[in-house]
Amino acid sequence: MGEMEQLRKEAESLKDDITAARKAVQDLTLQDHVAGTAVVGRVQLKTRKTLRGHLAKIYAMHWGTDSKLCVSASQDGKLIVWDSYTTNKVHAIPLKSSWVMTCSYAPSGNMVACGGLDNMCSIYNLKGKDGNVKVMRELAAHTGYLSCCRFLNDNEIITSSGDCTCVLWDIETGSQKTVFAGHLGDCMSLGVAPDFNTFISGACDFTAKLWDIRDGQCRQTFGGHESDINAIGFFPNGNAVITGSDDASCKLYDLRSDQELITYQDSSIMCGVTSIAPSLSGRLILAGYDDFNCNIWDSLKAERVGVLSGHDNRVSCIGVTPDGMACCTGSWDSFLKIWN
Amino acid sequence: MTINTLSQDGVQRQQMPCLTKTPYYWMSTRWPASELDYAIYLAKKNIRKQGELIEYEKECYNALHKRINHTWDFVVMQAREQLRASKQRRKADRIVLECQEQAYWLVNRPPPGTLENIDYGPERRTMNTRVQLIRMLNSTKKSYVKYCEQYQPHDPIMQGCLPSNPWITDDIMFWNMHSETVAVPTKLRVERWSFSFMELLNDSMGRKEFLTYLEKEFSAENLCFWQACEDVRHGETSKIPEKVDEVYKQFLAPGASRWVNIDSKTMEKTLEGLKRPHRFVLDDAQMHIYFLMKKDSYPRYLKSELYKNLLARAIVPQETKKSVFPFMRRQRHSSPSPALATQIGEDDGKGKNSNSVKSNSGTASRL
């Protein structure tokens, strides 16, 4: 037994050595190039709007492409489409199952989707002939909860599930077109590339994978996190992936050099990251945490430059508008706040 | 290693080639890598495709030619034989063998300057690898800094926006000025088209302007073809066959009214695929035309009078004056977060030095 302990200690110290060596190399390069960049200074974002209407925890939100409409999902069994600028509710859609965990707005603005513990992804048509919002399709085939879904267009949607797979669906026929299998743990989150050729998924096996949509293959796998990856997104240039994990850190992985570039962590932060979104230029990364706050990171210098505090419970979702104007946070306190 | 082939019906099949057939190339057997064998390998490469030998390989080839000139006929004959034999094999096996062969020679005749990886083993954290790693990371980090700097003026959270951020001043002029159908675009918007070809194509006004330019150059069919392909890729599954047929009639058929110039190999492959149309059947042709426009028409468009005139005419919006109703004006200070408690009193929310980014605070806002 003593030998096992010894070996374990040796493995741990080797791990520490590798991390230190990696960090040393990173620090060298960081100083070289980022020293010349202008300092960001302290970023203060203020709440401009509060969207009230949900009666229970908000689990997900997603902006529409017009940067004004957004959809949010709450465990009170409602999907609400907001005109966030006027704070009016455009649609309040009652759901069959109230255990919803994700929602998505189609790029065309014609549809919204949601899903959760019912293992199904329900697609709602917002532009029905008689003005009513009805279920258009129910995509059922997953054997685990639906953790995230994202539309590619009005005909295709990608979902990630607790059954460790992601699936590309044809909405018209309601059938699975491609199954992306390979993760060893529940898939928690997914993000589609700006060019719609690939997507990334983060899972409870502590890795993120890059998938090719056309041929269903996993192109790259990124490790390094020490706990479940809860949130994932593409860096705006499409060449990097940002992830947020239960190990209280966020990481930036570069796709072309196939490695982790930067870790965003602070010894004072000890709670998990629930959601992540980059600003339009990518210079700022906004991440929502379990401690009711959102931290704003300078993505190049890996320093914390701001905090969004105002929620009374965990921040469960965050999103930056496509035009980069504002960011929206949704929380378990049942409110959505718009900041800039 | 598996080889994925996308066959015509869009279903992909995997073939698992046999890796065990060539013990010659296994490192473990440590066959001595003789000069003769290397000469044969280089000769094969040379015969297969002219100009495929890279610099140091050319030098080696010439040096070998001098040194073992007496058996050169044998070398060439062997090379030809091996090439002929490999043609008999299945494509998958051939690829595997070629990869193994290439890797074998990369280790046994490495290009000048590389480390002897196999010989040094895991303790090879020498200065060389560290420098290489740093150099690679350097160029990667440079590209991120460049991207962030380029887009910073377009990032409203970093740098504010003109005339004003509607979320702060409740004035929607920004959105009006940036709508799709506005007569005169803003300067920032037109500048953004020069960042990358995708930026131009993603903006509907940019696409319109580009189409006007292409019409002058009589190559408008390229952009129309690209858009038609996008429509197939993102449209309804049931409409794919008819859409693909339309595309064929308009752009690909011999004598078509808007025939696009694709190389014969791609055209052949596309026409074969059209027999069983699926969502991605036009991808190769679309990619070819995309790169054609990107490398040729797009740079010329950016230098054209059309673009330069638009840029000159483009407006820089005036900053909206702050609200003059005193009763609406409330100095807002964000409640400092406990995490940043040490910085209270440092500033009053307004950017003091030119380096500080946030300059929009202090205006009237409603919560």
B19 contact partners, CB below 8 Å, separation of at least 6 = B1, B96, B100
Taking an 8 Å cut-off on Cβ atoms, the answer to whether A282 and B151 are in contact is yes
B111 touches chain A (CB under 8 A): no
User: Mutation test of the interface with chain A: which of B125, B136, B144, choosing the one with the most A Cβ atoms within 10 A?
Assistant: B144
Residues B216-222, mean pLDDT to the nearest whole number: 92
Residues A96-119, mean pLDDT to the nearest whole number: 95
**CA nearest to B161 within chain A:** A325
**CA nearest to B279 within chain A:** A214
Instruction: List the structure tokens of B203.
Output: 């903006």
B278: pLDDT confidence band, cut at 50, 70 and 90? confident
Instruction: List the structure tokens of A66.
Output: 């017009």
**Quick one: pLDDT at residue B178?**
83
Q: Which of A146-150, B23-27, B107-111, B291-295 has the lowest mean pLDDT?
A: B23-27
**Quick one: pLDDT at residue A118?**
95
More confident residue, B120 or A55: A55
* pLDDT tens string B227-277: 999 999 888 888 899 999 999 999 988 888 898 988 899 999 999 998 888
Sign of CA dihedral B92, B283, B222, B208: negative
Residues A212-231, mean pLDDT to the nearest whole number: 93
More confident residue, A121 or B126: A121
**Quick one: pLDDT at residue B30?**
53
Of A30, A237, A340, the CB nearest to B165: A340
- In the chain, the amino acid numbered B349 is G
Instruction: Identify the helix (H) or strand (E) that includes residue A6.
Output: helix A2-34
Nearest 10 degrees: Cα torsion B27, B33, B39, B42:
20
* Residue B173 scores a pLDDT above 80: yes
B138 touches chain A (CB under 8 A): yes
Strand order in the sheet with A78-83: A58-63, A69-74, A78-83, A88-94
Distance CA A114, CA A86 (A): 24
SS3 category, A131: coil
Nearest 10 degrees: Cα torsion A94, A100, A105, A109:
-10
How many CB atoms lie under 10 A from the CB of residue A90? 16
Distance CA A48, CA A340 (A): 7
Q: Which of A20-34, A121-135, A198-212 has the lowest mean pLDDT?
A: A20-34
CA distance A147 to chain B (A): 24
**Quick one: pLDDT at residue A19?**
66
% residues pLDDT > 90 (chain B): 25
Residues A260-280, mean pLDDT to the nearest whole number: 93
SS3 category, B204: helix
**Quick one: pLDDT at residue A21?**
66
DSSP state of B328: G
**Of the ranges A316-330, B84-98, B244-258, the best mean pLDDT one:** A316-330
In chain B, which residues have their Cβ closer than 8 Å to the Cβ of A29?
A: 134, 137-138, 141
Distance CA A340, CA B129 (A): 44
Of B136, B166, B355, the CB nearest to A41: B355
Q: Specify the long-range contacts of residues B130-135, CB closer than 8 Å, at least 24 apart.
A: B130/A25, B133/A25, B134/A25, B134/A28, B134/A29
DSSP state of A119: S
Contact indicator for B196, A236 with CB cutoff of 8 Å:
no
Q: Which of A135-149, A232-246, B134-148, B202-216 has the lowest mean pLDDT?
A: B134-148
**Of the ranges B18-32, B66-80, B255-269, B323-337, the best mean pLDDT one:** B255-269
Distance CA A43, CA A46 (A): 10
Instruction: Say what the pTM is.
Output: 0.72
* Residue B355 scores a pLDDT above 50: no
More confident residue, B58 or B285: B285
- In the chain, the amino acid numbered B298 is Y
Q: What are phi and psi of B162, to 5 degrees?
A: -105, 145
Instruction: List the structure tokens of B27.
Output: 């490192």
% residues pLDDT > 70 (chain B): 71
More confident residue, A314 or B58: A314
Taking an 8 Å cut-off on Cβ atoms, the answer to whether B337 and A320 are in contact is no
Strand order in the sheet with A273-278: A273-278, A284-289, A293-298, A303-309
Q: What are phi and psi of A134, to 5 degrees?
A: -125, 160
Mean pLDDT value across chain A:
91
User: Mutation test of the interface with chain A: which of B3, B13, B137, B283, choosing the one with the most A Cβ atoms within 10 A?
Assistant: B137
Contact indicator for A263, A257 with CB cutoff of 8 Å:
no
B367 touches chain A (CB under 8 A): yes
Segments in chain B forming alpha helices (H): 35-48, 55-67, 72-88, 91-108, 117-120, 127-151, 156-159, 166-169, 173-177, 187-192, 197-202, 204-216, 220-234, 240-247, 264-273, 283-292, 298-303, 305-313
Q: Which of A15-24, B187-196, B205-214, B289-298 has the lowest mean pLDDT?
A: A15-24
**Quick one: pLDDT at residue B2?**
40
Residues B121-144, mean pLDDT to the nearest whole number: 66
Query: Can you tell me the ipTM of this complex?
Result: 0.84
Contact indicator for A21, B134 with CB cutoff of 8 Å:
no
Distance CA A315, CA A58 (A): 9
A33: pLDDT confidence band, cut at 50, 70 and 90? low
**CA nearest to A320 within chain B:** B157
Q: Which of A57-71, A276-290, B244-258 has the lowest mean pLDDT?
A: B244-258
Mean pLDDT value across chain B:
76
Contact indicator for A336, A319 with CB cutoff of 8 Å:
no
A34: pLDDT confidence band, cut at 50, 70 and 90? low
